Amino acid sequence: MLPSSAALLTRCHHPLVRDLAWLVLAPDLITTPCQGRPTRKALGLEDDHFLATFLAELDKAPQALERRVGNTNHGRMGHYHERIWQFLLDAAPGTRLLAHNLRIHEGKRTLGELDLIYRLRDDPMPIHLEVAIKYYLGLPEGPGEPSGQARWIGPGGVDSLATKREHLHRHQLRLTEREETRVTLQRHLHPRDLGPLPELVIRPQLAMPGVLFYPWQQNLPPPREATTGHLQGQWLRWSDWQAFRQRLPRETRGAWLAKPHWLALPREDAFIALEKLEARLEHHFADPASPVQVALAQGRGKRMRLFLVADDWPRQIPLPPVADGIWYEKSTSDGQSRQESAKKRK
C-alpha cells in the first residue's frame, strides 16, 4: 500500500469507509497483460489531501455508502467487494458508473455477466472493469513449479490463483470481444452516457486486490506475475501456534477477522489480549474446523495478518487449469500432483 495509507486509514472510523479507503490504496495481487484497475488519477483521487477530504466527508455522512452496500455487509465477500466498487466509481470525481452486473445473452443462453461498466468524466468510451478480491495460501509442496500460481489456493481449497486467473482471462475479460456485448451495451446505455462515438470500443480492466499468505518457516517464492508490492501475511497449522506465539512480543494483541470484513484491518480498539483470542481459537480448533484469519498488533503501529488452519489442511486442492498444453491429474491431499498425459490443446 502507498506510504500514506496507514495515516489515511487511521482517520477513518466507519468500517465501510475504512474498507473503501483500503480498496483505493491496496495494490493488486498480480500484473497481467490486461490493463489494470482504474488508477487514483483516473478516479480523481490522486492528491493525498483531496483523498483525505473525500474520505473524511464520507466518514461524516456514510448513508449513501450504507445504502449501496445494503445486506451484503453480512453476506458474501465477493458481493460486498463489488458493491463498494460500485459506490466508488459512482462517487469518485473522475469516474461515472454506467452499469453493473450486466448479463450478456446469446439468444436464450447467458454468456456471462459484466461486473462493472464505467467511463471517465472526460472520455465517453465505456470501460469494463472485472473485480475479484482474493486471499490465497501458498503450498510449499503441490501442483506445478514452486512459483506456479496453482500453488496458491483459497482457504477452503475450492479455487486457486491459477484457476481464477484462467477464468478471468479466458472468459470474463473476453466477453467484451463479442458482438452480443456491444449490442447489449448500446441497448442498455443512453446516448448521454456515451456521447457521439464513431465506433463502440470497450476497454477491459481487471482489479484483483487481496493478500498472499506465505507458509510460516518454509520458503516459497512469490507466484508468477505477483506485483512487487502485493500485500502479504503468513499461515500456519494450529499445532504450530504455541511455537509461533513464543516468538511474538509480549505486548502483542489480536483480532478475529470475520467475513466480509477482510479488507481494512480493524482500528486499535478492536484488538484484544492475546490470551482471550487464543481461548477462542482453542475452542474453534477443538473440532474439525475451517481456517481462521486473524490480525496481530505488535505495537508502534506494526500489524500482520495470519491464517490459522487445522492440521489436516488442505483437505482438497483445486485441479490446475490446462497450461502449456499439459493436463494434470487431480492433486492428492498432501499436495503432490502427477502428470496424466501430455495432450496438446486443440
Q: Which of 10-14, 274-278, 324-328 has the lowest mean pLDDT?
A: 324-328
**Is residue 8 very low, low, confident or very high in pLDDT (cuts 50, 70, 90)?**
confident
Rounded CA gap, 48 and 244, in Å?
37
CB 154 within 8 A of CB 68: no
**Is residue 171 very low, low, confident or very high in pLDDT (cuts 50, 70, 90)?**
confident
Residue 222 is placed in which grid cell? 512469490
Domain residue extents for the chain: 3-309
**Is residue 34 very low, low, confident or very high in pLDDT (cuts 50, 70, 90)?**
confident
DSSP 218: S
Q: Could you tell me how many residues make up the chain?
A: 346
pTM: 0.89
Q: Which residues neighbour 3 within 8 Å (Cβ) at sequence distance 6 or greater?
A: none
Is residue 29 classed exposed, middle or buried when 0-12, 13-18 and 19+ CB atoms within 10 A define those classes? buried
pLDDT higher than threshold 50 for residue 205: yes
The pLDDT of residue 345: 33
